[in-house]
Amino acid sequence: MHVKASAPGKAILFGEHAVVYGKPAIAMAISKRSCVEVLEGSTSNINVNIKDLGIRGCIDFNSGAIISDSPKKGILKYILESIKKVHDGSGIDINIDVNIPIGGGLGSSAAVTVATIAAVSAYNEIDLKEEEIAKYAHEVELVVQKSASPLDTTISTYGGLIYLETNAEDIVQLNIDYDIPVVIGYTDTRGDTGKLVEAVRIRRDIYPEIINPLINSIELITEEAKQAILENDKKRVGELMNINHGLLDALGVNTKELSNMVYTARNAGACGSKITGAGGGGSIIAYCPGGTGNVISAINETENALKADISKEGVKITTLH
Ligand code: PMV
């Protein structure tokens, strides 16, 4: 048996941080996909080769020991927990291409987790429904990260553009017949999602009467943005992004590098731009219906940029034989 599966990364368009307090968010699956290939084992262990990150590792399924001398071997924990959901422990070889900048709030760990669960389950001829893949993947993130919202794993499984309320059963696909061209700018500085969520919580505890209205405003922005997206009102979408960015700054999750990228994108012609994800490092998103080229070049002068269209396709499995 030889199986391949892939799953997309994600970018949050509206609502991060507010989503922690039960508010909705809008996120899209991006056209960058992690790919996982599963083959019969060359040994009785589980051998993992993450080609683009230069990571090789060996997982002892029974003891859960991960043997690897790579400094970035943390990602192998996601693989181990994913395999545990759908595998009996026989030797398999797993080849992975992550293809998504890691640690930048673009859902790379979720994409790898979703694709691994899909590939290994198909290898074992276990027919999982999308909701089961999403559920298992969220459980894996919870075990490895201790806390995680279902947002990343949901988007990666289903693909598309999603309006999500904290309860993963409330996902709503926003079906649009046009693309949302965005540029993602990312720094080499990583934001720690857990710490940033905690920092916002502390700020909210100290200044509840100031911070709660900001969170409520983000909710209103997300609701208004949903309408603007459905009506393809580009100007309104861009303006709402800019307001959302200002509120994220007020919540304390902005950095100088993120701010520079946000304004660089606007000056280069983006209709709107904001932090995407937890902030504190990580990534920004710029909405560029007028063209992405100038924005990519401008951000690339100091940081890194990539073009990311909506990936309508979520997790995808290909059985080769
Ligand atoms: O940076 P990311 O992609 O992990 O996004 C975090 C989004 C938050 O709303 C800040 C936290 C969450 O769990 O939803």
Beta carbons of 65 and 80 less than 8 angstroms apart: no
Active site residues: 152
How far apart are the CA of 309 and the centre of ligand 1, in A? 20
Contacts of 57 (CB under 8 A, 6+ apart): 47, 48, 50, 66, 67, 68, 70, 73, 76, 79
Surface-to-core class of residue 273, CB atoms within 10 Å of its CB (0-12 exposed, 13-18 middle, 19+ buried): buried
Query: 80 phi and psi, to 5 degrees?
Result: -60, -50
Q: What residue type is 317 in one-letter code?
A: I
pLDDT by residue for the chain (321 residues), tens only, comes to 899 999 999 999 999 999 989 899 999 999 999 999 999 998 888 999 999 999 999 998 888 899 998 888 889 999 999 999 999 889 999 999 999 998 788 999 999 999 999 999 999 999 999 999 999 999 999 999 877 778 899 999 999 999 988 665 667 899 999 989 999 999 988 888 889 999 999 999 999 999 999 999 999 999 999 999 999 999 999 999 999 999 999 999 999 999 999 999 999 999 999 999 999 999 999 999 999 999 999 999 999 999 999 999 999 999 887
Q: In this structure, which residue's CA is closest to atom 11 in ligand 1?
A: 17
C-alpha 193 – ligand 1 centre gap (Å): 6
Q: Do residues 45 and 36 make contact, with C-beta atoms less than 8 angstroms apart?
A: no
Name the pTM for this structure.
Answer: 0.91
- C-alpha to C-alpha distance for 269 and 247, rounded to whole angstroms: 22
At 239, list the tokens. Answer: 């303006």
Placement of tokens 């992004």 in the chain: 241
Token pair of 23, please? 């508010």
